[in-house]
Structure formats: C-alpha cells, structure tokens
C-alpha cells in the first residue's frame, strides 16, 4: 500500500514534468547555453578547453540542476497538495524521496544524457566521455537529494531562490570534486574508479539522510 502511494506520487510528478515540459526544457537549455558560452570566454584553443572541460561540464550541470530546485516543493505548498501528501498513508520521508526521484528523472537524467554532445564541443578526450556519463548518472541523484533538503528548508521564505542557492552550493562541493575528478582522471588516461566510488558513496549517504532532513523541514513549514 505504501509502495502504491509512493509510485503514485512519483508518477504524478513525472507526468506533471512531462506535460508542463518547461522545467526540463529550461534546465537542458541552461546547461547547453552555459557550456557553449565558455569557448567565447576563454578562447577557442582546443588544449585550454579540453583541459578545463571536466570542470566546466560539472559546474554547468550543477547550476542547471540548481535552477529547477525551487519548483520541487513550492507548487505543492502553494496549492495545498502538500497537506494532502502529509495526510496520506505515505510517510513524509518517503514522499520527499519520491519527489526527489522524480526530480532526478526529469532533470538529472536528461542532463547526463546530453552531456556527451557538449563534451564534443569542448574537445574533451574521447576516452573520458563514458566516465562523464557515468559520473553524472551517479552524482546527479545526490544533487536532487541535497537540493530537496534546501528546497524544503527555504519553503515559505521570502526570496527563496537566492537563499536556496546560498544554502545548496556549498553542499554541492563534494559531488563536484569527485565528479569532475573522475572525468579528469579518465581524460588523462588514469582509472577514474576511486572518484566514481566516492561519488557513489555520497549518493548512497544522501539517500537515507536527505529525505529524513527534508521531511523534518516540511513538517516545520506545514505547522
């Protein structure tokens, strides 16, 4: 029964993301545009671009994921759906997990899937492209989960977007270090295994901790 409620919430959020389309499209467009801007800024020399490509791609993906976070709980909070969710048979911890999972599928996965095309623009070493895809697929769940905590904490605050960025960006530093580190290692011909494992560890640690913290913040916002 709890599983049915979990899947219902997950499917509803995905369906809304698909039908409204705006959020996913915006995130992808932002990611592409940011990456495309870099050659204009730092110059078109392939060596310079290839050298900084792992960092550029990861920072751009991170900012793109940040862009959609304020929509994670706010619409449900404003239209009263969050009351229904809080009163459902689904514990609020699992409800936030379902919402973060839907957020990941509608933003993190498209970001990861489009990243190889952008890697070509930046002349990233072809050996590193598989690692880039893997690092984003492993790391973006952590971005959605950590972002969920910040989105829940800033619910109902004035200037939620700014506050959200200030809260969440420091917490995004560890995934950024290990994600970009893995891609850089692969580009230099070294095994990226350790960085990917640490990135996976971050995601696995966020999986139980973040929904728990986010649910506590949501209860505060509802009360």
Partner 1 sequence: MHAALGKQTRRPMLPHLSNRLSLTAAPALAVPLPDLVGEDLACRRGERIVFIGASFRLSPGDTLILSGANGSGKSSLLRLVAGLLTPVAGRLLWGIAPVAADLASHHACLHYIGHQDALKPAMTPREVLAFAAALRGRRLASAEPALDEALAAFDLEGIADWPCRWLSAGQRRRVALARLLASPAPLWLLDEPTTALDSDSQTRLEQAIATHRSKGGMVMIATHAPIQLDAATTLALDGLAPPLQLDPILAE
Residues in touch with partner 1 (CB under 8 A): 1-2, 4-5, 7-9, 12, 15-16, 19-20, 75, 78-81, 83-91, 222-223
Kindly state the smallest distance separating residue 73's Cβ from partner 1, in Å: 14
CB contact burial 158-187 (16+ within 10 A = b; e otherwise): eebeeebbebbeebbebbbebbbbbbbbbb
Nearest to partner 1 of 8, 194 (CB atom): 8
Q: 3-state SS of the chain: helix, strand, coil percent to 5?
A: 85, 0, 15
Residue of 136, 137, 73, 60 whose CA lies nearest to 100 = 73
Please say which residue, 15 or 127, places its beta carbon nearer to partner 1.
15
Would you tell me how many other CB atoms lie within 10 Å of the CB of residue 45?
11
Q: What are phi and psi of 103, to 5 degrees?
A: -60, -40
Residue closer to partner 1 by CB (options 20, 25) is: 20
CA 133 to CA 85: how far, in whole Å?
A: 34
Geometric angle at alpha carbon 117, from 41 and 111, rounded to 5°: 90
Closer residue to partner 1 (CB): 151 or 183: 151
Question: Least distance to partner 1 from the beta carbon of 78, Å?
Answer: 8
Nearest distance in Å: CB 12, partner 1 = 5
Shortest gap between Cβ of 213 and partner 1 (angstroms)? 19
Residue 96 CB, nearest approach to partner 1 (Å): 14
- Nearer to partner 1 by Cβ, of 87 and 170: the residue is 87
């Amino acid at each position: 029964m709890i599983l049915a409620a979990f899947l219902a919430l997950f499917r509803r959020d995905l369906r809304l993301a698909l039908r409204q389309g705006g959020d996913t499209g915006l995130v992808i467009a932002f990611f592409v545009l940011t990456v495309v801007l870099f050659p204009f800024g730092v110059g078109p020399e392939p060596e310079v671009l290839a050298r900084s490509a792992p960092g550029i791609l990861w920072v751009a993906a991170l900012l793109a994921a940040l862009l959609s976070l304020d929509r994670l709980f706010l619409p449900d909070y404003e239209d009263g759906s969050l009351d229904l969710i809080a009163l459902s048979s689904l514990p609020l911890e699992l409800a936030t997990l379902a919402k973060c999972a839907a957020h990941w599928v509608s933003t993190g996965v498209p970001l990861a899937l489009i990243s190889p095309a952008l890697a070509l623009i930046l002349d990233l070493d072809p050996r590193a492209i598989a690692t880039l895809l893997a690092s984003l697929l492993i790391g973006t769940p952590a971005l959605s989960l950590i972002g969920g905590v910040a989105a829940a904490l800033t619910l109902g605050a004035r200037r939620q977007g700014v506050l959200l960025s200030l809260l969440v960006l420091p917490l995004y530093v560890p995934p950024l270090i290990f994600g970009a580190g893995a891609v850089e290692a692969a580009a230099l011909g070294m095994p990226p295994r350790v960085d990917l494992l640490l990135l996976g560890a971050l995601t696995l640690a966020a999986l139980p901790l973040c929904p728990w913290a986010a649910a506590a913040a949501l209860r505060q916002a509802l009360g």
